[in-house]
């Protein structure tokens, strides 16, 4: 647990100094995580580690995504090295066959099918360009818990996207995403303006969701939105919000409102950024992102600009997180990081992650 020594003297309202998740806290398992972009999962079996467990991912002939443990219950052969026979996954070692529910439907060397020889299957669900997976208690795998990302396949929005593998923990990643004070230092070229950085940031906790937001009237637009929307010569009203939605998802919303044309009325440009974070292991994560907009949908120049700017900014985050993780993991002397008032959103999120992990530990996970 990290020491919050500075907070009590510096923050207006002191943060409690206990029970915040860090890189050693058990990963929350009862959660829908992204298993991959929809087009990553196909009739070619994909092996991917998720929450430390090898998973084999494929689609049925009807196109349903299937996820089973990538380890035959007989002799531990990785099932993703086998082959598909219709909807059935055939082990490459002894030809044992499993249906999409993980039930063994044939063991060629046996006269009868062994009834107890099943492989663990994980609930999956497809939503637009994403396949979600539930690695926790299957009795809790309620699809109603899958968070909303409906803008990703709405015709009113246009998205660019990308993905990274990151040698860091998901706690540090989420903290980075709830932290805007690093923008001018880590992303000097792309994100943020001095005016906006100085504006008041509000934070609230809504259940297990953490929200930060700020607004600013009559200010220059940030380059990342102003350039592709061709607004750099104007003053705009700005609003932005970022949300820790779940251990698997962080979303950011921004709007830029142009009031120049009094006759036509305000023209609002909206942006959604979707960060999908799936722990591969305790110290590494799969990361997918989307940058979505509701304006200039067919503008390929805007696509290119937003993709390039996002890739650069997220790569700067990836590098920073990996440098930190390497530093923390190899240091012979532990360090208790100091926290300050602007760290409050991240600390609230770390408290949520701690409480969720603690509850799972109490349930015997």
Residue with Cβ nearer its own copies (315 or 323): 323
Contacts of 324 (CB under 8 A, 6+ apart): 168, 172
Residue with Cβ nearer its own copies (94 or 267): 94
224 φ, ψ (degrees, to nearest 5): -65, -30
Nearest approach, Cβ of 191 to its own copies (angstroms)?
Answer: 14
Cα(32)–Cα(68) distance, integer angstroms: 15
77 binds its own copies (CB under 8 A): yes
Handedness of CA 32, 33, 39, 44 (dihedral sign): negative
Residue with Cβ nearer its own copies (112 or 264): 112
128 binds its own copies (CB under 8 A): no
* 192 contacts 342 by C-beta, under 8 angstroms: no
* Structure letter (DSSP) for residue 145: G
Contacts of 282 (CB under 8 A, 6+ apart): 23, 24, 27, 52, 169
359 binds its own copies (CB under 8 A): no
Residue with Cβ nearer its own copies (59 or 71): 71
Burial of residue 363 (CB within 10 Å: 0-12, 13-18, 19+) is exposed
8 binds its own copies (CB under 8 A): no
Q: Which member of 1, 92, 161, 358 binds its own copies (CB under 8 A)?
A: 92
14 binds its own copies (CB under 8 A): no
180 φ, ψ (degrees, to nearest 5): -105, -5
**Please, which of residues 285-304 interact with its own copies by CB under 8 A?**
none
* 199 contacts 214 by C-beta, under 8 angstroms: yes
User: Per the structure block, which two tokens stand in for 84?
Assistant: 């598909």
Nearest approach, Cβ of 323 to its own copies (angstroms)?
Answer: 5
75 binds its own copies (CB under 8 A): yes
The beta-strand segments (E) located in 10-96 are 32-37, 46-50, 53-59, 65-69, 83-85, 88-90
Cα(342)–Cα(10) distance, integer angstroms: 10
Neighbours of 75 (CB within 10 A): 10
Nearest approach, Cβ of 339 to its own copies (angstroms)?
Answer: 8
165 binds its own copies (CB under 8 A): no
User: Per the structure block, which two tokens stand in for 126?
Assistant: 């497809």
Nearest approach, Cβ of 162 to its own copies (angstroms)?
Answer: 22
The pairing of strands 104-106 and 121-122 is unpaired
Nearest approach, Cβ of 183 to its own copies (angstroms)?
Answer: 10
338 binds its own copies (CB under 8 A): yes
Residue with Cβ nearer its own copies (94 or 234): 94
Residue with Cβ nearer its own copies (69 or 127): 69
* 34 contacts 65 by C-beta, under 8 angstroms: no
364 binds its own copies (CB under 8 A): no
327 binds its own copies (CB under 8 A): yes
Handedness of CA 294, 210, 161, 323 (dihedral sign): positive
Q: With contacts defined by CB under 8 A, how many residues of the chain interact with its own copies?
A: 57
Nearest approach, Cβ of 321 to its own copies (angstroms)?
Answer: 10
26 binds its own copies (CB under 8 A): no
**Please, which of residues 193-222 interact with its own copies by CB under 8 A?**
none
Residues making contact with its own copies (CB under 8 A): 5-6, 9-10, 51-54, 70-71, 73-78, 81, 90-95, 107-110, 112, 114-117, 172, 175, 179, 181-182, 184-186, 281, 320, 323-324, 327-328, 330-333, 335, 337-342
């Amino acid at each position: 647990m990290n020491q919050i020594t500075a907070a009590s003297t510096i923050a207006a309202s002191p943060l409690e100094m206990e029970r915040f998740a860090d890189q050693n806290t058990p990963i929350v398992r009862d959660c829908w995580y992204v298993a991959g972009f929809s087009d990553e999962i196909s009739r070619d079996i994909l092996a991917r580690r998720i929450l430390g467990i090898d998973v084999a991912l494929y689609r049925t002939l009807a196109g349903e995504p299937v996820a089973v443990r990538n380890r035959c219950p007989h002799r531990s052969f990785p099932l993703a090295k086998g082959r598909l026979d219709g909807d059935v996954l055939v082990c490459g070692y002894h030809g044992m066959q499993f249906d999409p529910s993980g039930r063994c439907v044939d063991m060629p060397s046996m006269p009868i099918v062994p009834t107890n020889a099943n492989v663990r299957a994980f609930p999956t669900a497809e939503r637009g360009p994403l396949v979600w997976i539930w690695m926790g208690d299957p009795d809790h795998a309620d699809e109603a818990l899958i968070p909303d990302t409906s803008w990703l396949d709405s015709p009113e929005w246009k998205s660019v996207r990308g993905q990274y593998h990151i040698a860091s923990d998901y706690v540090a990643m989420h903290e980075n995403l709830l932290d805007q004070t690093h923008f001018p230092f880590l992303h000097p070229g792309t994100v943020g303006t001095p005016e906006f950085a100085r504006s008041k940031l509000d934070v609230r906790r809504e259940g297990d969701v953490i929200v930060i937001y700020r607004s600013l009237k009559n200010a220059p637009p940030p380059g990342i939105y102003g350039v592709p929307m061709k607004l750099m010569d104007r003053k705009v009203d700005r609003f932005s919000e970022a949300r820790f939605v779940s251990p698997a998802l962080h979303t950011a919303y921004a709007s830029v409102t142009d009031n120049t044309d009094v006759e036509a009325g305000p023209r609002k440009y909206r942006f959604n950024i979707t960060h999908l974070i799936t722990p591969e292991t305790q110290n590494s994560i799969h990361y997918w992102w989307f940058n979505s907009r509701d304006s200039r949908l067919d503008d390929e120049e805007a696509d290119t600009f937003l993709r390039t700017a996002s890739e650069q900014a997220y790569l700067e985050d990836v590098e920073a997180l990996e440098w930190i993780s390497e530093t923390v993991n190899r240091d012979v002397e532990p360090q208790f990081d100091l926290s300050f008032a602007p760290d409050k959103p991240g600390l609230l999120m770390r408290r949520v992650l701690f409480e969720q992990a603690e509850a799972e530990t109490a349930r015997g996970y």
